[in-house]
Amino acid sequence: MLNLSSTINVLSNHRSIRKFTEAPVGDDLLCKIIAAGQAAASSSFLQGVTIMRVTDPNKRAAFKEITGGQAYVETAPEFLVFCADLSRPMRCCATHGGTPYEGLTEHFIIATVDVALCAQNVAVAAESVGLGICYIGAIRNDAARSAELLDLPQQVYPVFGMCIGWPDQDPEVKPRLPLTVMLKEDSYGIDGEAEAIAIYDEEMRNYYATRSANIKIQGWSEQMAGLLGKESRLHMRPFLEGKGFLKR
């Protein structure tokens, strides 16, 4: 039998944690975890990430409000906001007498991908020592206010937050799509997709109906219909353009 590495086991046992004990993470461990995040690969070695650690209780309360009342945003031992940051390399460009080329979609992608890779490294590092995490995309409900709270300059935008702490709950692992649906070989095709998703919908309905909290009756594809069938955060494009991103 295949001997899975402990890293694969950590990855496979991921589940978002939304209830934490009051025990602190501690500065040393937090810094080690964030340094592990920094070790992620970085496109063009841009390192286009700034992590904002939010400790001010008033700012925590404001983020809870922005996220529609997600209590753990205020109470988790640590709350980090991951920002895509082109301002730092642009300052370097100016230092060396260059004129930074602003608003390139390509640079936006590079910085945003850097953030995702760094954050996921942080998540895995945290989970590898028994901590729990929850990403918080809802800070983009009011991206402008999130940016203002953290004094983010031009060319920096908040991508998502992350709660970190010691788990005070033990939720079930959420089943993912069958591999046959998301892994394709050589040529994109959708043969067998509808049938496989129907089976997965059944698995998800069962998962939601029997899990220990927040029980509901819903398949995954219905969830997607709800998600993609409505507008979402239309303010993001003007917000990003206002911050100097996505102009060309």
Ligand X SMILES: Cc1cc2nc3c(=O)[nH]c(=O)nc-3n(C[C@H](O)[C@H](O)[C@H](O)COP(=O)(O)O)c2cc1C
List contacts with ligand X (CB under 6 A): 14-16, 18, 67, 70, 134-138, 160, 174
Asked whether 139 and 63 are in contact (CB, 8 A), the reply is: yes
Least Cβ distance, residue 90 to ligand X (angstroms)? 25
Q: How far apart are CA 195 and CA 192, in angstroms?
A: 5
Quote the tokens at residue 121.
Answer: 């490294």
Indicate the residue whose CB is closest to ligand X.
137
DSSP element (H, E) containing 117: helix 105-128
Give 82 or 245: the residue with its C-beta nearer to ligand X: 82
Question: Can you say whether the dihedral through the CA atoms of 134, 208, 129, 76 is positive or negative?
Answer: positive
Summary count for the chain: helices (H), strands (E): 11, 4
Q: How far apart are CA 215 and CA 208, in angstroms?
A: 5
Least Cβ distance, residue 199 to ligand X (angstroms)? 19
**Encoded amino acid at 95, one letter:** T
Give 91 or 237: the residue with its C-beta nearer to ligand X: 237
Give 67 or 155: the residue with its C-beta nearer to ligand X: 67
| Residue 21: C-alpha distances to residues 76, 122, 125, 131, 245 (Å) | 8, 19, 19, 10, 39
Q: How many CB atoms lie within 10 A of CB 145?
A: 15
Least Cβ distance, residue 63 to ligand X (angstroms)? 11
Least Cβ distance, residue 204 to ligand X (angstroms)? 11
Give 90 or 118: the residue with its C-beta nearer to ligand X: 118
Least Cβ distance, residue 192 to ligand X (angstroms)? 24
Give 15 or 59: the residue with its C-beta nearer to ligand X: 15
